[in-house]
Amino acid sequence: MRQIEQDELESLATGASILGSGGGGAPYIFQINLQNLYADGVRVKLMDPSDLADDDLVAVVTMMGSPLVGQERLADAEIGAKALRAMEDFLGRRFSAVMTMEVGGGNAFQPLLVGAVTGLPVVDADAMGRAFPEAQMNSFAIADLPMSPLSIADIRDNEIVVTRAASWKWLERLSRKVCAELGSVAATCKAPRTGAEVKAYAIPNTTSQAIALGQEVRRARAAHEDPVAAALVAAKGKLLFRGKVADVQRQATEGFLRGTTRVEGIGDDRGAVFDVAFQNEFAVGWRDGKIVVTTPDLICLLDTESGEAIGTESLRYGQRVSVVALPASPVLRTPKGIAHVGPRAFGHDTDYITVFEEQGQ
C-alpha cells in the first residue's frame, strides 16, 4: 500500500488518456476535482491486488453517460460514493477497497475520487487495461463472473439497484435507459468482486502503469525529447505510422460514436496512408488497405509533438499524429477474450491481428 502523490495526478491523466485508445472521456475535470481534494489535505492510497484477502469485498466504480453532460455537471467525488453506499446497503456488507472497470480515460480517476471521500484504498487494477465501449467487454465478463447486482446513483436523491439482469446485453440496456432518465450521466457501482476474484481475473497494476506512462511522456516533454518515443518505451508499444489527419468521418448510432479517420504519411511514411476505424475507441487499423492491427491491441493516436492522446471526438484535419499500438493484456488475447473484445465484437469481419507476435498467441 502506498500513497498516490499530488504530482502523480497529472501523470495519471496523461497516461490514462493514452490508454483510452481514443475513447474513455477526458480525465481533466476528474483530475481538477482530485487536485482540489489533495489541496485540502486528502490523500488516496494505492493497494497492490495481491494484498487483498480472498474474502475482501471490492467495489467496482465508474461514471457512465455522455461526455458532453460531464462537461456541465462536473465530476463529483460524493456522487460516486453514493453508488457505493447504495450497494453496501443492498448487500448488508461493507467494502474494503475500490477499483475501476476501465483505466483508459476519465474512469481511471473515479475510484480515486470515491477513495478520497470514503477513505477506502484503491486497488491497482482494472478489468480492461484500456477503454472499451460496452459493459461486457471486460475481464470479469470473459471469466463468466456474474454481472449483477449493479447500483446507479445520480446527483439528486435517486438510487437504483438492478438486482438481476438476464444477460450482459440486458444489463447494458437497462442501465442506459436509467442513465438517460437521470440526465445522461450517473455514478455506478458494478457487481461487487471478492478479493479472490480480483486476484484471479482483474488486470493487475494498471493504475501504476498509467501513472508511469504519463510520467515518461511528461518527462520527455520537459526535456525536449520525443514524447511519443518515451510513451512507446514506457508502454512497450510500437510505432505504426507518422502522418497527418487527412479525413474524419463520424456518425452517432445506438449511443456510440462510430467512424473512420485517414492519416496521410509524412517523413518515413510519406506516400502511404493509414486508416483507423473506431467505435468510441479505435478498433482496426489498415496500412495502404491492408489490416495490420486490431482490437484488443490498443490503437492510439498521439499528437506527434506533445505525445498527448487524441480522442475520436477531437480528431481534426491537419493534426500531426503518430499511430501507435500498445499490447493488450494477455487475458484479452485468449480465444475467449478475442470473442468478447476482438474485431468481430466491433462488427469487423476479421481475425485478431497483432503487431506483437513475439509476445502473444
Partner 1 sequence: MSRIGIDVGGTHTDAVLIDGSRVLGAVKTGTTADVLSGVRTALSKLLDQTGCERSAISAVVIGTTHFTNAVIERRALEKVGALRIGLPASASVPPFSAWPSDLVAEVRGQAHMVAGGHEYDGRPIVDLDRVAIRDAARRMADAGLQSVAITSVFSPLTNAFEKEAEEIIAAEMPGASITLSHQLGRIGLLERENVAVLNASLQQLARKTVAAFGEAMRESGIEAPFFLTQNDGTIMPATMAMRYPVWCFASGPTNSMRGAAFLSGLEDAVVVDVGGTTSDIGYLTSGFPREANSAVDIGGVRTLFRMPDLLSIALGGGTEISTDGARIGPKSVGFRLVEKGLVFGGDTLTSTDIACAAGRIDLGDRSLVKHLAPELVARTLERMGNMIAEGVDRMKTEAGDVKLLAVGGGSFLIPDHVEGCAEVIRVEHHAVANAVGAAIAQASGEVDQIFSNLSREQAIHTAREDAEGRALAAGAAPGSLKVVDMEDMPLSYLPGDARRVRIRVVGEIAA
Given the rule CB under 8 A, which residues bind partner 1?
29, 32-33, 35-37, 65-69, 71-79, 155-156, 179-180, 183-184, 244, 246, 250-252, 255-257, 264, 280, 313-314, 316-318, 320
Closer residue to partner 1 in complex, CB, 143/174: 174
Residue closer to partner 1, measured from CB, 51 or 308: 308
Closest to partner 1 by CB, 136 or 184: 184
Cβ at position 329, least distance to partner 1 in Å: 25
Nearer to partner 1, 173 or 238 (CB): 173
Instruction: Kindly tell me which of 155 and 291 has the beta carbon lying closer to partner 1.
Output: 155
Residues 6+ apart with CB under 8 A from 310: 22, 301, 302, 303, 319, 321
The CB density around residue 167, as the number of other CB atoms within 10 Å, is 10
The gap between the terminal CA atoms of the chain, to the nearest Å, is: 33
Q: Which is nearer to partner 1, 37 or 332 (CB)?
A: 37
Closest distance to partner 1 from the beta carbon of 8 (Å): 17
Angle at 126 between CA 115 and CA 149, to 5 degrees: 75
CA distance 26 to 127: 19
Q: How far is the CB of 129 from partner 1 (least distance, A)?
A: 23
Are 74 and 87 in contact by the 8 Å Cβ rule? The answer is no
Query: Residue 332 Cβ, how far from partner 1 at the closest point, in Å?
Result: 23
Instruction: Tell me whether residue 249 or residue 350 sits nearer to partner 1 (CB atom).
Output: 249
Burial letters for 207-245: b for 16+ Cβ neighbours within 10 Å, e otherwise?
bbbbbbbbbbbbebbeeeeebbbbbbebbebbbbbbbeb
Residue 144 Cβ, how far from partner 1 at the closest point, in Å? Answer: 28
Closest separation in Å from C-beta 316 to partner 1: 7
Phi, psi of 66 (to 5 degrees): -85, 130
Q: Report the distance separating Cα 171 and Cα 339, nearest Å.
A: 19
Nearest to 238 by CA among 225, 229, 227: 229
Q: Which is nearer to partner 1, 208 or 280 (CB)?
A: 280
Provide the minimum distance between the beta carbon of 107 and partner 1 in the complex, in angstroms, as a whole number.
14
Instruction: Indicate the residue among 58 and 182 with the shorter CB distance to partner 1.
Output: 182
Smaller CB separation from partner 1, 69 or 91: 69
Least Cβ distance, residue 290 to partner 1 (angstroms): 22
User: Shortest approach of partner 1 to residue 141 CB, angstroms?
Assistant: 21
Shortest Å distance, C-beta 161 to partner 1: 20
